[in-house]
Amino acid sequence: MALRRDRHRYSSAAPGTPEARSFELSGKPAARVTDPTACPLPGHGTNPIASGSPNVFFDGLAAARMTDKSACGSPITGAVSGTVFINGLNAATLDSTGGHGNVVVGGSGTVIIGQSGGGAAFSGLLPMPVHFTDRLQVVNEATGEPIPDHPYAIQRGDGRIEHGITNEQGFTHMVSSHLAETIKLFVE
């Protein structure tokens, strides 16, 4: 048997929240790989951003974006730029926040990311939550045809096991998470 991926990443605003905020901002230093974050979890302390853009660099360091992780494993999840996107992801800046409650405490000395030009008021949307979904298709290696009605088990990143039977197109159920995770498929 072989597998095909059917991966999706999408953003969605919370239903019924047409809120917008007006604020003035002259800008914040861009966050990059190796810039420090302060994590409040016991034993984590100050640790660097560990992942970033594969092809956008500030001061010779990879630019940090929403979902990039610090060395303690915490993804950047909030207080990111609402107007600057790097590889389709919001740019991280000084004071961006992470999933562990950590905060980016350092940044570029030469690249400033602003929310609006010249200090003018900017009415921006609230940050949209990011969601990841993934499903796999079980196919016959010899023919490439989907294998319907076949039992399987999916192990989630946190170790939980979910059992199911492939649908008529050979797909597993959709696995969703607000953070990226590695899943394992066991075909029975």
CA distance 49 to 63: 10
- Residue 188 pLDDT: 72
For the chain, report the end-to-end CA distance as a whole number of angstroms.
11
- Residue 162 pLDDT: 92
CA distance 68 to 164: 31
- Residue 37 pLDDT: 92
Q: Is the Cβ–Cβ distance between 139 and 4 less than 8 Å?
A: yes
CA distance 20 to 16: 12
Mean pLDDT split into 10-residue runs, the chain, 188 residues: 45 38 58 92 90 92 94 92 90 92 88 66 53 78 89 89 93 81 81
- Residue 13 pLDDT: 36
Classify burial at 107, counting beta carbons within 10 Å of its beta carbon; exposed 0-12, middle 13-18, buried 19 or more. Answer: buried
CATH of 26-115, one of 2.60.200.60, 2.60.40.10, 1.10.10.60, 1.20.1630.10: 2.60.200.60
Q: Is the Cβ–Cβ distance between 148 and 168 less than 8 Å?
A: yes
Residue type at position 158: D
CA distance 116 to 132: 29
Domain ranges across the chain: 2-8+130-187, 26-115
Q: Is the Cβ–Cβ distance between 133 and 168 less than 8 Å?
A: no
- Residue 18 pLDDT: 41
Tell me if residue 117 falls in helix, strand or coil: helix
**Phi and psi at residue 174, to the nearest 5°:** -80, 130
